[in-house]
Structure 1
Amino acid sequence: MMIYYRKMKPTIMRNIRREPVGIRRESNNEAFISLVRTAFPIIAGTAVFSMTNLIDMKMVMSGLMNSGFFSLTEAEKLYGQLSGKYVTLTTFPVSLSSAMATAAVPNIAACVTSGNKKEVKRKINTALKLAMVIAIPAAVGIGVLGDQILLMLFPSYPDGGILLKVGAVSTAFLSLCQIVTGVLQGIGRINIPVIGALIGAGVKIILNKVLIGIPSINVAGAVISTDACYLVAAIFNLVMLMRYTKIKINFRDILIKPTISAFVMGIGCIGFYKLFMLIFGNAISTLLSIIVGMVIYLIVMLVLHGVTEKDFMSIPKGASMVRVLKKVRLMR
């Protein structure tokens, strides 16, 4: 960023000199204060979730030990399943929605500044749709193939599949929360996500305290509380977004169609996995099932008109994908 600034500094300074004389320029102190006021809520919203994860890790060990049903070795083993497997495997899909959220901020902010309400509505719905079109099938895939994925990645220690089955949905909830956070930041409501994150963190801590100590639930309690945390934060942010923008969210395209398509995909993944296992081992069968599942998901989404040519054109290499889909007659 600094290299880019040094390169563009002459152009920036020329533009500043061309500003009308009547416009008051901010002093360095005023600019710094404005920057802090803008950046702090954004950083705080992210830090709250990170802090919650740290509290979560502390509460898991103490909760398991205090229950009296687990030894230190058993508690550490369960903790390892949570931190080393569940967190790792559910984080990757979320990184994609996080990137989308970051990209959405300047685009939406530009439309808000120009006063183009129609374009603001379109960009908000497009950002939400693209994030959930990726996050929902990822959550379903992790949920239905959790045991198989762990056996493929950790053949000597495949335990922990139940955590993926229970917690896969958090991938979708967190992705929704992050993209709505990006949109709220784009329209200037940077404090709202912080409040949502704090509410979600409070729910998580309470559920951790209640669930982890139950022997039959144990470490899965932390996963359930994570699901609830992100769901509550996402709903709060979404309600606030609709309240402040007065925009009608297209839930049919954003949530319903991807969920139906992902459900069909999940059934297909299980069926094809069993079929492939008649010929191959677990690793190859799992990979092939994931690939087939992606194809099934895409086909169902096209049949339901869940994704359109316009959607493809808004992503990198979208034009090439449209040409291929038209060639195989999956798109008109």
Structure 2
Amino acid sequence: MKKKPGGITAQSMAKGFAVLSAASIGVKILSLLFVPVIRKLMGGSAGYQVYTSANQIYAFVYVIATAGLPVAISKTVTEFMSMGNPSAARRSFRLARTVLAGIGIVLTAVLVLLAKPIARASGYSEAWLGIVVIAPNILICSVLSAYRGYLQGLKNMTPTATSQIVEQIVHLLVAIAAVFILRGRGLAWAVAGASFGTVAGSVAALGIVIYYYTRSSNHMAAGNNAPAASKAGTLPAQDYDTKYYLRLLAKYSIPITLSAAIQYGGTIIDVFIVKSRLLHAGFAENEAAAMHGDLSAARQLINVPTALVTALCVSVLPIIAGLYAERRVAEAKQKAQDSFRLCFLAAVPCSIALMVYAVQIYGVLDFDRPFIMTAMAMSVLFMGIVHLQSSIMQSVNLLYQSTFFVGVGVLLKALLNYILIGIPALNIYGAVISTYVSYLVPMVMNAFALRKIKGISIRLLDPMVRPVIASTAMLLPSFPAYFLLRRLLSFAGAYVSNLIAFGIAALIAVVVYFVVLRFIGGLKKEDVESISPRLARKLKMKDD
């Protein structure tokens, strides 16, 4: 780890990835444990889909408010710090925080006022109260995301990780208690209770990041805070006016916001299309809602390994942006390639495990239709590639190209959803096919743009080989172990025997994966050393 001006701790890409990954996986696992409880309290898949629809509508507005500016903050803070200008970094953050708060206030008001018509249009009218209750979270998260972006720009991922864990714990505890208390008043109130848990969690997270920000500001004040000369000839901070900062933030944030809004727009399209097309295919109202709920549950499960890739994207953006700002292009290209190697270390085994163990995982979580998960599992890999490509493109200022390519994918997804889900033989699996197409097309377009415009040619197959070998190897002992344990524990009942057998099999799979990966050279010493030098010494890892 390195020190930033004023004593701020900067983390390497692998270290930042590890910190955020651990937090993200913890958060997603807690979220998954929350799902079966809430589904039962809300009466099953159909009731759960009402809650999900409220959340997806909120998430779309949330993305509009918070997707672009926090990334812009991270990028500008990194660039100013790389240029030896910490005061400019702080000023750009404060200005962006004010803008985000204003956006949050406006969008909160819009969401509250339009809650009922939006809920009716989605086909889930009981979701309106949940939308009203969760709306203030737009304002809270707008401010929260500003602090996270600033601290990430300092290449310190610990505040984001800590706040995410606290946020999820508070969310779960408050949501379950609120749903339990309010469900007697009807489904709309139960959904509102679950939404209130989200707000409570965000308030707790905001308190955490403000604490870290205050501490980092005190470190800076104690250190040498005079604006240094830029490596690229940048002017001292006092020579920048407000318009300059606004132009810089707008330049970075607008295309990123558009890209994220388009991506989440695809999810909103699902809210309005999936159920209606299932009804068109001849399914009953309740069955269509249940199938839609099962699709949403599968996507929530996919979000667990996807969180690893998201953590990597957050870690890699300020590092590549900083190298690019310093005109260290060769190093930026190498970091881009390294990021895909790290991506595949996580995404490949997760995709294979979700595909092979879908039935067992669904048994633990009490979900229906596990074969939706089996069919969708490999989308984790394609989603990871596209998200990481987009993050790298944002780092090297290919912002609008990235946005356009994502838009093409979402447009294809909407079109295919409409056509394929309406075919009775395909039904909900039409959404699975459209998901793959929506990632494959942008993946090819992103790769072409990076190579032709920036000369960044990223190898995808080579770094994937070793994770595939290790992932295949992990199934050889773990899968038979599951069935043996399931038989031995049959006296404990179906659920308990599945839970214990799967837990032990998963542990065996993880251990075998990393042992084989290390043996075949898929895990480098620098990866482990940057996370924990002590662990690297303990494993007696040699230099590559």
| TM-score bracket, shorter-length normalisation | 0.7 to 0.9
Q: Deviations over 1:64-88 (max 9, x none)?
A: 00112x10011011011011x2011
- Of residues 503, 522, 527, the one that matches 1:306 is 522
1:97–1:175 contact (8 Å) kept in structure 2: yes
Equivalenced residue count is 323
Alpha-carbon separation, structure 2, partners of 1:115 and 1:331: 28
Tell me the CA shift for residue 55 of structure 1.
0.3
Question: Is 1:275 the counterpart of 2:489 in the alignment?
Answer: no
Q: Deviations over 1:221-278 (max 9, x none)?
A: 1122112212222232223222233234243442222223223334544332222222
- The percent of aligned pairs where both chains have the same amino acid is 24
Residue 197 of structure 1 corresponds to 406
Residue 254 of structure 2 corresponds to 40
Where in structure 2 are the equivalents of 1:110-121 lying within 5 Å? 110-121=322-333
Alpha-carbon separation, structure 2, partners of 1:142 and 1:23: 52
Tell me the CA shift for residue 14 of structure 1.
4.8
1:182–1:278 Cα change, 3 Å: same
Show structure 1 runs of 4+ deviating over 6 A: 17-22, 329-332
Q: Deviations over 1:136-173 (max 9, x none)?
A: 1111111110111010111xxx4221111010111111
What is the DSSP-based 3-state SS (H/G/I as helix, E as strand, rest coil) of the residue aligned with 1:277?
helix
Residue 184 of structure 1 corresponds to 393
Alpha-carbon separation, structure 2, partners of 1:126 and 1:19: 28
Residue 292 of structure 2 corresponds to 79
- TM-score by length of structure 1 reads 0.87
Tell me the CA shift for residue 205 of structure 1.
1.1
- TM-score by length of structure 2 reads 0.55
Tell me the CA shift for residue 6 of structure 1.
5.4
Q: Deviations over 1:168-209 (max 9, x none)?
A: 111111111111211111112122221121011012112212
Alpha-carbon separation, structure 1, partners of 2:542 and 2:364: 32
What is the DSSP-based 3-state SS (H/G/I as helix, E as strand, rest coil) of the residue aligned with 2:488?
coil
1:302–1:331 contact (8 Å) kept in structure 2: no
Residue 109 of structure 1 corresponds to 321
Where in structure 2 are the equivalents of 1:237-248 lying within 5 Å? 237-248=446-457
Residue 364 of structure 2 corresponds to 152
Question: Which ranges in structure 2 are unaligned for 5 or more consecutive residues?
Answer: 1-146, 148-209, 490-496
Where in structure 2 are the equivalents of 1:44-55 lying within 5 Å? 44-55=258-269
Residue 287 of structure 1 corresponds to 503
1:325–1:331 contact (8 Å) kept in structure 2: no
Alpha-carbon separation, structure 1, partners of 2:475 and 2:324: 39
Q: Deviations over 1:6-41 (max 9, x none)?
A: 547758995348789994833212321221121111
Alpha-carbon separation, structure 2, partners of 1:269 and 1:215: 37
Where in structure 2 are the equivalents of 1:212-223 lying within 5 Å? 212-223=421-432
2:447–2:457 contact (8 Å) kept in structure 1: no
RMSD: 2.8
Alpha-carbon separation, structure 2, partners of 1:36 and 1:12: 30
Tell me the CA shift for residue 296 of structure 1.
2.2
Tell me the CA shift for residue 59 of structure 1.
1.1
- Of residues 301, 319, 330, the one that matches 1:89 is 301
Residue 53 of structure 2 corresponds to none
